[in-house]
Copies of this chain bind each other. A is one copy, B any other.
């Protein structure tokens, strides 16, 4: 029998129980005391090194993730001080903002690794309010850390704001594109230029690689970078470019190690704290929206005797 108590589960997970690990991740997907206890335990242990992959559906992220897993396990370390013999993989498909349920559909992925004892793969979904994933993913990464994972991959589908938000909370963020992928505007608008540490042009056996690379370089030329994002060409289906991609990951990691890591982790921590603060404040909005004072303000708005800014001020000063 698997226990239900976070502390016991954490002990089991750190001894290698995948069932216990899975249950702890389920806890951080939902809200409540189990989430709070799990977080309290997990944040005592440092985060794994996190590699994030994001890109539009069909860009070939799953196949590429597959290749990265194989290469990472074969290499076994970033350097003499940072080894890994297992990898945690979180697959994220941000759900509809309205229906509140993730559509993972028939996502059959990374089948070879699913039975590999060195790989833990988990699809994550929100079990609650909007934005739940952007809180749950960092927590799940810490749970992986507490279960002795020192390397984690987060694969996120899509290039919307939430996907970018999740992917960019990684240590190394990889944006997967394809030849002829969108126009320059698209990448710029989605904020990908600001978050990518590495751009991958996957399916690089197709026409248009040179143009896509040139477009990316031109956009990067417009910015000022402490770290100028690397551009790597891959054909994930055949494995071409996988080694180059891994080397790029190591290169970015070495860059961070070279005096930037503390600042980077502090930035990541601030971002997580801001997200939790926002979530807590949002739940206050929801509470406010249930009260009589709120309905009184809505009535006043409909009658044209106030505006939303004065109404909000009135509500917050009362609460």
Interface on A for B, CB 8 Å cutoff? 35-36, 39-40, 42-46, 95-99, 103, 105, 138, 160-162, 164-165, 185, 188-191, 194-195, 265-266, 269-270, 272-278, 280-282, 284-285, 288-289, 294, 297-298, 301-302, 304-313, 315-316
**6 closest Cβ contacts across the A-B interface?**
A98-B191, A43-B307, A281-B281, A98-B194, A276-B308, A39-B307
30 residue pairs from A and B, CB less than 8 Å apart: A35-B309, A39-B308, A39-B309, A40-B307, A40-B309, A42-B307, A43-B304, A44-B305, A45-B304, A46-B304, A95-B189, A96-B190, A97-B164, A97-B165, A99-B194, A138-B308, A160-B160, A265-B302, A269-B301, A272-B308, A273-B289, A273-B294, A273-B297, A273-B298, A273-B301, A273-B312, A277-B315, A278-B285, A280-B313, A281-B316
CB atoms of A273 and B98 under 8 A apart: no
Partner of A285 from the list B190, B266, B277, B312 (CB cut-off 8 Å) is B277
Cα A277 to Cα B103 with chains together (Å): 30
CB atoms of B273 and A311 under 8 A apart: yes
CB atoms of A285 and B281 under 8 A apart: yes
Residues of B within 8 A of A39 (CB): 307-309
Partner of A97 from the list B43, B161, B274 (CB cut-off 8 Å) is B161
Give A196 Cβ to nearest chain B Cβ, in Å.
Answer: 11
Query: A40-B307, A97-B164 are known contacts. Are A103 and B45 too (CB-CB below 8 A)?
Result: no
Residues of B within 8 A of A274 (CB): 285, 289
Query: A45-B304, A269-B298 are known contacts. Are A96 and B316 too (CB-CB below 8 A)?
Result: no
Query: A42-B307, A46-B304, A311-B273 are known contacts. Are A103 and B298 too (CB-CB below 8 A)?
Result: no
Cα A191 to Cα B101 with chains together (Å): 11
Identical subunits present: 2
Give A136 Cβ to nearest chain B Cβ, in Å.
Answer: 12
Give A308 Cβ to nearest chain B Cβ, in Å.
Answer: 4
CB atoms of A306 and B43 under 8 A apart: yes
Residues of B within 8 A of A35 (CB): 309
Residues of B within 8 A of A308 (CB): 39, 43, 138, 272-273, 275-276
Chain B residue with Cβ nearest A278: B285
Residues of B within 8 A of A311 (CB): 273, 276
Chain B residue with Cβ nearest A288: B277
Cα A191 to Cα B100 with chains together (Å): 9
Chain B residue with Cβ nearest A265: B302
Cα A111 to Cα B286 with chains together (Å): 44
Chain B residue with Cβ nearest A279: B312
Cα A39 to Cα B311 with chains together (Å): 12
Give A260 Cβ to nearest chain B Cβ, in Å.
Answer: 15
